[in-house]
Amino acid sequence: MKPVITCVDDLRRLARRRVPGLFYDYVDSGSWTESTYRANSLDLARLHFRQQVGRNVADISTRATILGQPAALPLALAPAGLTGMIWPDGEILAARAAAAAGVPYTLSTVSICSIEDLAARLAQPFWLQLYMMKDRGFIADLIARARAASCSALVLTLDLPIQGQRHKDIRNGLSVPPALTASGILSMLSHPRWCAAMLRTPRRTFGNIVGHARGVTDTLGFAEWVSRQFDRTVTWDDIDWVKQRWGGRLIVKGIMDAGDARRAFGAGADAIVVSNHGGRQLDGAPSSISALRAIADSVGDAGEIIMDGGIRSGQDMLRALALGADSVMIGRAFLYGLGALGEQGVALCLDILRKELEATMALCGVTALGQLGPDAIVDYPWPAVASAPAPRTPALRSIAEAP
C-alpha cells in the first residue's frame, strides 16, 4: 500500500524504515543526553499564535529575498554531512529538489558529493558550508574551488572547535563507507533497496576532501586526517582571513549569543545563522528559538538573520519569522524526505512546508511575510535584551513589497 504523507513526521517514519539504522541515527540524534536536540522542537511548540479574523487573506505570498536573491519560501536547506549516505547521490537529489522549489541549497564540507560534481549537475548556484580546519592550505583551496563553481554564498560554521559526543554514532561505529561489522552488515542487508541504489553510484566517500587534502587518498586517510583537524584556535580574526579569500556573500553559522551576533556582523558577515548545530554540539545549550529574539533585538538592521533548529513545519517557520528571523534553515526535515522517497521526498517536504506556512499565515490574518512581528505570538516566554535598540526592520520582505 502506498504510504499517505501529510506532514514531515510521516516522512520521518518512512525514512526510519528505509535507511540503515546507523545512518538514520546519525540524522535523528543529538549529543550527550540530547536535551538541546529535544528543546529545539519543544520550545517552538510552546509558542502560541495570535489568531486574527475578519481580514482578506485571498492573496497570500510566501515569497522572500535571501541575501538579495528571490526565493519562493523564506527557507534554505542546511548543510548536512553524509547526505549521500542517507540516500545514494543524496546531495545531488536534494539540491535539484531545492532548485525546483526555488530555495537555496547548502553543500557541506563533509558531503559525499564534491563541489565540482554538484556544480556539473545543477544549473543554479548553491551555497557551500565551510569548517575552519588546521590545514589552512586545504581551506584556502576549498574556498577557491567554491569560487570556481560559482557558489553564491559561503556558510562559515564556527561551533565545531571540537566535536560533541554523539552516543548513538559511537555505539553504531559510524564510518564511511560503513564498517563491515556484523551489526553494520545486518543493518544494510535489511535495507536491500538502499543497498541496490548504493551499488549503482560511485559516490561513497567524502568528495570534497579525499583526493584534495594533503595525504588523504582514501576513506581511511580521511578518518586519520579529520581527527587532527578540529581547530581550537579559531577566533573572530579568522573571518577576515576567509573574507579576503572568498570575496562574496558570507554567512556565519553557530551564533547563540547576542554579543557574538554583533561581533559576527562587525567582522563583516552578511548574515548569521542562530543555531546550536541541531543539538549536536553543546548539549544543555538553550534552544535556537529561545535565543532568537534577544539576538534580533541586539543587532538591529546589521544584516540578515537565519534560524535553524527544530523546524519541522510551516508553523515553526512562522514562529521563527515572527520573532526576528528573516529566513530559516531545515536539516533533518529534508533528510527525512530524502531517506523516505529520494528527490521526490525532498520536493514533498518543501511543498508540505509551503502549504503549512500559507495556511498558518491565513489563519493569523497575515498575507505577506513583512507583516510578521512579535505580536503574532501571544505568549512569548523568554525575555528580550534589557536595552534593545529601536525595533528591527526585517530584511526579509515580500517580493510584492520590494521597490
| Tens-place pLDDT, residues 299-318 | 999 999 999 999 999 999 99
Q: Is 35 helix (H, G, I), strand (E, B) or coil?
A: helix
Handedness of CA 117, 304, 248, 258 (dihedral sign): negative
User: What pLDDT does 2 receive?
Assistant: 83
Report the predicted TM-score, pTM, of the whole model to 2 decimal places.
Answer: 0.92
User: What pLDDT does 219 receive?
Assistant: 73
Catalytic site positions: 277
Per the prediction, the chain carries an average pLDDT of: 91
pLDDT in tens, 40-90: 999 999 999 999 999 999 999 999 999 999 999 999 999 999 999 999 999
User: What pLDDT does 387 receive?
Assistant: 41
Answer yes or no: are the C-beta atoms of 176 and 204 closer than 8 Å: yes
Q: Where does the pLDDT of residue 180 fall: very low under 50, low under 70, confident under 90, or very high at 90 and above?
A: low
Answer yes or no: are the C-beta atoms of 112 and 207 closer than 8 Å: yes
User: What pLDDT does 381 receive?
Assistant: 83
In order, the DSSP letters of 201-250 are -S--S-TTTTTTSTT--SHHHHHHHHHTTB-TT--THHHHHHHHHH-S-E
Distance of CA 16 to the CA centre of its chain: 20
Distance of CA 254 to the CA centre of its chain: 11
pLDDT in tens, 220-239: 777 778 878 989 999 999 99
pLDDT in tens, 332-377: 999 999 999 999 999 999 999 999 999 999 999 999 999 999 999 9
2 occurs within a structural domain: no
Answer yes or no: are the C-beta atoms of 13 and 336 closer than 8 Å: no
Count of structural domains, the chain: 1
3 occurs within a structural domain: no
Distance CA 1, CA 399 (A): 41
pLDDT in tens, 99-141: 999 999 999 999 999 999 999 999 999 999 999 999 999 999 9
Distance CA 188, CA 19 (A): 8
User: What pLDDT does 393 receive?
Assistant: 43
272 occurs within a structural domain: yes
Q: Where does the pLDDT of residue 384 fall: very low under 50, low under 70, confident under 90, or very high at 90 and above?
A: low
> In terms of C-beta distances under 8 Å and separation of at least 24 residues, what long-range contacts does 67-72 make, across chains too?
67/152, 67/153, 67/249, 67/251, 67/270, 67/271, 67/304, 68/249, 69/104, 69/152, 70/102, 70/399, 71/102, 71/103, 71/104, 71/327, 72/101, 72/102, 72/103, 72/354
Q: Is 116 helix (H, G, I), strand (E, B) or coil?
A: helix
Give the range of the structural domain holding residue 362, as residue numbers without chain letter.
8-401
Distance CA 263, CA 286 (A): 20
User: What pLDDT does 401 receive?
Assistant: 33
98: domain CATH number is 3.20.20.70
**Strand pairing category for 327-330 and 250-255:** unpaired
Q: Where does the pLDDT of residue 146 fall: very low under 50, low under 70, confident under 90, or very high at 90 and above?
A: very high
The radius of gyration of the chain from alpha carbons, rounded to an integer in Å, stands at 20
1 occurs within a structural domain: no
Report the interhelical angle of 90-101 vs 343-363 (nearest 10°): 40
Q: Which of 92, 56, 60 is nearest to 73 (CA)?
A: 60
